[in-house]
């Protein structure tokens, strides 16, 4: 199992709009068929500006992640950039689940 983690720092000026948008964006990502579920969490660190969130999407394989990057990611990433520009800063990491306890 793989986790595609997207960490996003959100400027205070767009905070409410971001939360509304992300609740529609996450189902769109899941609807690509590349992920089985997702979790939205708030990162509990004090930031100088804004609030930080992470979205953790679960994929069953590396192939599913690669297909998402190739077939879906550019369009879905562009939507957020168009809507929020530099008021939202995101970085992405891939995690491979070794073992659940």
Q: Give the E-state strand segments of the chain in sequence order.
A: 2-10, 37-42, 51-59, 88-96
Beta-bridged to residue 5, according to DSSP, are 56, 93
Integer Cα distance of 57 and 9 in angstroms: 17
Tell me the domains of the chain and their CATH numbers: 2-96 (3.30.70.100)
Per-residue pLDDT tens digits of the chain, which is 101 residues long: 999 999 999 999 999 999 999 999 999 999 999 999 999 999 998 878 899 999 999 999 999 999 999 999 999 999 999 999 999 999 999 999 999 99
């Amino acid at each position: 199992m793989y986790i595609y983690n997207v960490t996003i720092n959100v400027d205070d000026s767009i905070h409410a709009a971001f939360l509304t948008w992300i609740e529609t964006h996450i189902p769109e990502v899941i609807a690509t068929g590349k992920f089985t579920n997702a979790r939205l969490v708030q990162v509990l660190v004090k930031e100088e500006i804004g609030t930080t969130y992470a979205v953790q999407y679960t994929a069953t394989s590396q192939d599913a992640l690669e297909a998402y990057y190739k077939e879906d990611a550019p369009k879905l990433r562009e939507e957020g950039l168009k809507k929020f520009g530099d008021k939202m800063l995101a970085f992405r990491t891939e995690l491979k689940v070794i073992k659940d306890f």
